[in-house]
Amino acid sequence: MVRSEMQLIIIMDKEKLVKGGMWLSAFSLSMLMCSLSLYAGFNNMRHGSYTMFVIGITLLPLVFFSAYKGFGLILSAIFEE
């Protein structure tokens, strides 16, 4: 009985962990790109150029979606049987 309980604790879905790590890396890259483009966009607003600001705003949903998907996959790999 102790041996079967140990096996349940150790087993995790490694494919889900890898996919979750890939989504979290996409989250970090998109967060970096979004913050840089928003910074440049706010600085360029003084000169009348809104291109970088619009790019930063359009990247925001990607940031939230990739974080949601990555953390969801990692948590489901750890806690589901």
SS (HEC) of 24-46:
HHHHHHHHHHHHHHHHHHHHHHH
Q: Is residue 22 in some structural domain? A: yes
pLDDT for the residue numbered 39: 95
pLDDT at 27 over 80: yes
Q: Which structural domain, as residue segments, surrounds residue 32?
A: 13-79
What's the pTM value of the predicted model, to 2 decimals?
A: 0.77
Q: How many domains does the chain have?
A: 1
In the structure, what pLDDT confidence band is assigned to residue 79 with cuts at 50, 70 and 90? confident
In the structure, what pLDDT confidence band is assigned to residue 44 with cuts at 50, 70 and 90? very high
Q: Is residue 41 in some structural domain? A: yes
Q: Is residue 3 in some structural domain? A: no
In the structure, what pLDDT confidence band is assigned to residue 31 with cuts at 50, 70 and 90? very high
Average of pLDDT values for 50-69? 95
How distant, in Å, are the alpha carbons of 10, 14, 37, 53, 67 from that of 34?
A: 38, 30, 5, 9, 14
Measured between its terminal Cα atoms, the distance across the chain in Å is 17
Q: Is residue 2 in some structural domain? A: no
Nearest to 29 by CA among 70, 1, 74: 70
